[in-house]
Structure 1
């Protein structure tokens, strides 16, 4: 059976069911961004599909070079029928040996969308910047939390990537935001986002650099923050330190604790697929044995991102008590010295 026949028999119905679940969100606003099919949780792990404005992004996890095209063509035909104003279709091949194919090949249209809107805030995007899409859809409700809770706060956004979490804090009237990432090219997208939202440059600072070095410099200068966001890559190694979300994500929390003011928050995001929710909580509880760090809340992943129900068969680890393998926790921090300023 060829791929297109397989698509017609197995995938099309799954895709249409997923589309109907999200149809209201899709047509609410032509600038919305959301996942409209999650293969890992909706029964077809080879494919996930996002919509950024009116650009359809097909993520193929097929490990055979070239096999994604027939399937993606059929997907595009269905999507074009259901979303008549679709203007571009982009295929990203995660396991291709060609970096350009990982970043995305345009199958239809000319120019992918360069801007989306979420919670009444505008964001610049570059859908071919990287293997991903430069804007993480699974952290949508965290951006909403920042919009609602960042007013008057000093915020430090580490591993900021394109700075969407810091932008949400600024849109929520944060007093001041520092965005840091190793790659200055990624941070340039935040600069464009801040500009279209008319954010006063005096309210934020961009620091390209290594997390460990930047955090040490800020500590030596006695900086304190009300909110620190830790959203690291799954694994990274530099001369200054190692990031390993599966084995030692807690190390980053301990590194950043001295920068948190009395009563402040650390927002930690762990998206390790093979780390279960219970295992992650057990790691966090090791630093909550005294009264200085406490688990305050969880932030769920939007149900649109995974379809609202799990096909556990395709999940590497059970995320419970979280609703997805992207595990977002708000920690409340207290200091022995009680220092706020």
Structure 2
């Protein structure tokens, strides 16, 4: 039985919890010192001892816990997790029935009612992502729900928090039959190699599914496409399958080349017809400018924060400059796919970055399309921070 701790909410934050905001921040609580062990059930009250919500204590970069229910008589137990996960699965029946897409997000944190927990489905394999020690204390309940559903090959997990050496499971395997990796998943008919047993990254970011489809179906044909911060080259695959004349993939990570070659190969594409560079993207922009290289399409999807030996990059500060570098190597009437997963600002500010960059470059532009998270990445409308993905297809005039 989880211990329950009463927390007092400061006056300015009471209205947020009454509206249903799920995140519990340090600033909202008067008696944070009452919190000892993560995983404890927390009950939130105002100064008059009116009940505001029940959740759990778990520290992650966003806050110190999540509200799970506004009903004082609702227990956070196996039945609670079962109800939430089954409801999420029912919403995604269309994905289960789609033969052309075999990987999707099954459960999306606070968007599906349990902040700090996500579950991804990869062609019969489940991958559970735990974002705090607190949510990890509910592992048994979550696994039991998946067990009761049955019909899976294996369950893997990623502990996306500092474990301080407490958890030592081998290669993220939990139970079932160990996979033979890579497993090849399908996404709108495209194939991608995925590893659930090889560290934090599995080989593809599922939230960009619709963007990859748009690149393949509407933008790539006959184009030379530059894919920056390319990771395993997923955007390059989409472009190549969409009829791009050539793709150039650039990423600083040494393993990115082998991973990108693998993705081309599982799609029966000759990788030697494409350019794969292990190089700092910022250095590549200088190289391209020196050699007067121009591209018909540039995909710009940097990490929110990155540090190399030479520089530190933050999207909230440096995206306009990155866009300026991109504009300088994009053909007239070419397209920039500008993307960010930084949750600290919204689409309005992101469009402000675009306007600032094009103004500085004295260049016109037109936003052709914009994308947010796909349907399987459910968002809580009362917590817009959870709707983190912002993608703009921008034509350079």
Q: Does 1:91 align with 2:157?
A: yes
Greater shift in the superposed pair: 22-31 or 274-283: 22-31
The residue aligned with 2:376 is 304
Q: Does 1:51 align with 2:134?
A: no
The residue aligned with 1:339 is none
Query: How far is the alpha carbon of 1:184 from its aligned partner?
Result: 2.4
Going from structure 1 to structure 2, the CA distance change for 1:222 and 1:35 (only over 3 Å counts) comes to same
CA distance in 2, matches of 1:233, 1:97: 25
Cα deviation, 1:55-109, whole Å, max 9, x if unaligned, reads 10111112349625323422431442xxx2x101001111134597697333332
The residue aligned with 1:260 is 330
Going from structure 1 to structure 2, the CA distance change for 1:271 and 1:101 (only over 3 Å counts) comes to farther
Query: How far is the alpha carbon of 1:13 from its aligned partner?
Result: 1.0
CA distance in 2, matches of 1:250, 1:283: 5
TM-score, L = length of structure 2: 0.74
Query: How far is the alpha carbon of 1:31 from its aligned partner?
Result: 6.2
SS in 2 for 1:316: helix
Query: How far is the alpha carbon of 1:17 from its aligned partner?
Result: 1.0
CA distance in 2, matches of 1:200, 1:17: 43
The residue aligned with 2:394 is 331
Query: How far is the alpha carbon of 1:228 from its aligned partner?
Result: 0.4
CA contact (8 A) 1:102 1:130 kept: no
Cα deviation, 1:22-73, whole Å, max 9, x if unaligned, reads 1231133396110011012121112111001111011111234962532342
Q: Does 1:282 align with 2:345?
A: no
CA distance in 2, matches of 1:254, 1:233: 17
CA contact (8 A) 2:105 2:377 kept: yes
Going from structure 1 to structure 2, the CA distance change for 1:259 and 1:89 (only over 3 Å counts) comes to same
CA distance in 1, matches of 2:235, 2:136: 35
The answer to which structure has the higher helix fraction is: 1
SS in 2 for 1:302: coil
Going from structure 1 to structure 2, the CA distance change for 1:13 and 1:278 (only over 3 Å counts) comes to same
The residue aligned with 1:167 is 237
Q: Does 1:142 align with 2:211?
A: yes
The residue aligned with 1:29 is 99
Question: How many residue pairs align between the two structures?
Answer: 321
Where structure 2 has 5 or more consecutive residues not aligned to the other structure, the ranges are: 3-38, 40-74
Where structure 1 has 5 or more consecutive residues not aligned to the other structure, the ranges are: 318-323, 335-341
Cα deviation, 1:140-180, whole Å, max 9, x if unaligned, reads 01110111120100000000001111100001110000011
CA distance in 2, matches of 1:138, 1:66: 23
Greater shift in the superposed pair: 236-245 or 64-73: 64-73
Q: Does 1:249 align with 2:319?
A: yes
